[in-house]
């Protein structure tokens, strides 16, 4: 079992910069989190961009699609900001054989209390079992990407009405 | 989606007791961890025992089987000590319709660095996607319970040779 | 032994805000941190403002001085943003009998890795031993407030040249 | 300012051990904790033993005294198990010029919630301000070592009646 992790930024990778008193997207956290969890599958981490997903463009999404299409692996985990996760997912349909699971977090992985570890685990658990397609794993649920939306006020993902 | 979590103790729930300078099994951590991860599925936590799994008996295993069989839910997550997780799993075959996933951790959930959140996420991600059967989710892998063993020296689960 | 903690905001109390959010300094963390440390002295926490210290004005500083002067306690701990900590400290001279120690942190207290607990401990340890005056406890050092400056590039406090 | 840290083991340095393991006190945590706090004073860490303090002998205490007496530094921080901290402190009287502060923790430093960082900070804050003597810094209080005892039932240090 081998997974390609494509990282696009988002809250999960945010760090705090004291010198500007603000948060920005830092290095991908998925590698350190996998080490802490002592995972035994093979994986490679490919950092494609480090963006707050509110700032992602169609060009960014085309780039992510190109990287997924070019991947030798069929199991693709994408860490991504939550605000436009479904928009990027919509750009990844029609890639035969690929199992693509998006995840991210509402609280940065560097916080003492965070959903990052759990979400990443949930995405990995589903990724190795699901048939090809595009999915979002958030709040402990695994959704087909077309069936889910972010409820911003409640800070969670929900089925579309 | 509704999950029954049956907790049997194990490292994941260990606490430190200063007055005896030792570790013991404390209250189940799965509830607080689910809250921290802000999960949106329904679940109920049923604490069946609080044991280091080295001390579990066949009676304990019969009790766990009875609780799983009696559960109205089909999705069953069992948190359990790692040392005899496969032995307990072997007692749970032949329960039609039940998807049963075991998980636990090598480091207590209360530690600053721990595999507990990730493992729990991995188990939940797999549980909702797998067909009925008995599985073990550890080290980021989801195994049919009959196909895996703990490598104690390396502190990880591996496929049987 | 009784301490009054006056909180003015700063990085120590920062919460995560995403790009679409407007607030950033959250509730004072000193109370929860004291509870976690199981302190046995008496204390009261008085939240005077919740500001990034770059945005503090002379009116804010006059208010802090007034609150310190009005305090029935002689031991005063002030949690404060690091950028203008020395400026506020300069407003607090000439309050007879008061031992005043400022501290804060470079990384928010809510992070998994943070200097907040240590700094707070250092300030409390010094506060109960020092003679009246105004001090800054940062980076494990306790300085008379007039003898120290923040080195922003290095994210630390240093003696003035 | 230069501190010698003498480490003797205790809960602060405890690692997780399962029921089949034999060791329990791990490597001294003071170095990693100082790095995380970004301290700017000079220090050297000397690991003298790694013991649960219930198992310390008079020979152990004589060794600690010898190491303190031999230290070129006057500022001595000792991390030590809490159960016999006062007994060891009683062996360290009569060392002219030395400021000696003991600390430790009720919860291991490796836990997500712990008093270790705060206690270490408190000890460092007091150490640099106190006159020569032997002290214990626990629960946010700094006591002359002869004036304090551990209340085991309440897991805290208190003034002697």
Model pTM score: 0.94
Interface of A with B in 13-72 (CB under 8 A): 33-34, 36-41
pLDDT at C22: 58
pLDDT tens per residue across span B91-102: 999 999 999 999
Distance from the first to the final alpha carbon of chain C: 36
pLDDT at A75: 98
DSSP code, position B111: B
CA–CA separation, A140 and B38 (whole Å)? 8
pLDDT tens per residue across span A11-46: 999 998 876 778 889 999 999 999 999 999 999 999
Question: CB burial class (10 A; 0-12, 13-18, 19+) of residue A42?
Answer: exposed
Active site residue C93: no
DSSP code, position D14: B
Confidence of residue B17 (pLDDT cuts 50, 70, 90): confident
Query: Do C64 and C56 meet the contact criterion of CB atoms below 8 Å apart?
Result: no
CA–CA separation, B27 and B33 (whole Å)? 12
Domains defined along chain B, listed by start: 2-145 (3.40.50.1170)
Question: CB burial class (10 A; 0-12, 13-18, 19+) of residue B112?
Answer: middle
CA–CA separation, A120 and A77 (whole Å)? 9
CA torsion C33-C37-C43-C49 (nearest 10°) is: -10
Query: Do A157 and A150 meet the contact criterion of CB atoms below 8 Å apart?
Result: yes
* ipTM field: 0.96
Strands C148-151 and B133-138: unpaired
Strands D42-51 and D2-9: parallel
Any chain A CB within 8 A of the CB of B75? no
Instruction: Flag whether pLDDT at D73 surpasses 80.
Output: yes
Mind telling me the catalytic residues of B? 11
**Can you state the angle between helices A116-127 and B116-127, rounded to 10 degrees?**
40
pLDDT at C57: 97
pLDDT tens per residue across span D58-71: 999 999 999 999 99
pLDDT along chain C (161 residues), means of 10: 97 82 83 97 98 94 98 98 97 97 96 97 98 98 98 94 80
CA–CA separation, B93 and B133 (whole Å)? 7
D10: region left, alpha or beta (phi > 0 left; psi from -120 to 50 alpha): left
| Contact assignment for A112 to C112 by CB distance below 8 Å | yes
Annotated catalytic residue, options D7, D11, D103, D114 = D11
Q: How far is CA B88 from CA B45, B101, B160, in A?
A: 19, 12, 17
Which residues of A are part of a known binding site for substrate? 53, 82-83
* Set of chain B residues whose Cβ sits within 8 Å of the Cβ of A124: 118, 121-122, 125, 140
Chains with 3 or more CB pairs under 8 A to chain A: B, C
CA–CA separation, D59 and D63 (whole Å)? 6
Query: Do A119 and B36 meet the contact criterion of CB atoms below 8 Å apart?
Result: no
Confidence of residue D20 (pLDDT cuts 50, 70, 90): low
Report the candidate in A36, A34, A82, A18 with the shortest Cα–Cα distance to residue A56.
A82
Q: Which of D16, D106, D155 is the closest to B111 by Cβ?
A: D16
Strands C133-138 and C141-144: antiparallel
In this predicted structure, which of A17-21, A44-48, B113-117, D9-13 has the lowest mean pLDDT?
A17-21
Confidence of residue D123 (pLDDT cuts 50, 70, 90): very high
Q: Is B19 annotated as a binding residue?
A: no
Residue D16 or A19, more confident: D16
Query: Do A71 and A39 meet the contact criterion of CB atoms below 8 Å apart?
Result: no
pLDDT tens per residue across span A98-123: 999 999 999 999 999 999 999 999 99
* Set of chain C residues whose Cβ sits within 8 Å of the Cβ of A152: 20
């Amino acid at each position: 079992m081998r997974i390609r992790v494509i990282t696009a930024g988002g809250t999960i990778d945010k760090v705090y910069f004291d010198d500007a008193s603000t948060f920005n997207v830092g290095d991908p956290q998925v590698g350190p989190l996998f080490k802490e969890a002592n995972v035994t599958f093979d994986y490679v981490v490919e950092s494609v961009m480090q963006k707050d997903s509110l700032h992602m463009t169609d060009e960014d999404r085309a780039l992510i699609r190109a990287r997924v299409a070019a991947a030798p692996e069929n199991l693709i985990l994408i860490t991504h900001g939550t605000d436009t996760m479904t928009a990027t997912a919509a750009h990844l349909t029609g890639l035969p054989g690929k199992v693509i699971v998006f995840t991210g977090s509402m609280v940065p992985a560097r916080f003492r209390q965070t959903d990052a570890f759990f979400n990443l685990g949930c995405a990995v658990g589903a990724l190795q079992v699901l048939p090809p397609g595009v999915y979002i794993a958030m709040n402990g649920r695994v959704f087909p990407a077309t069936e889910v939306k972010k409820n911003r006020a409640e800070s969670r993902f929900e089925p579309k009405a």
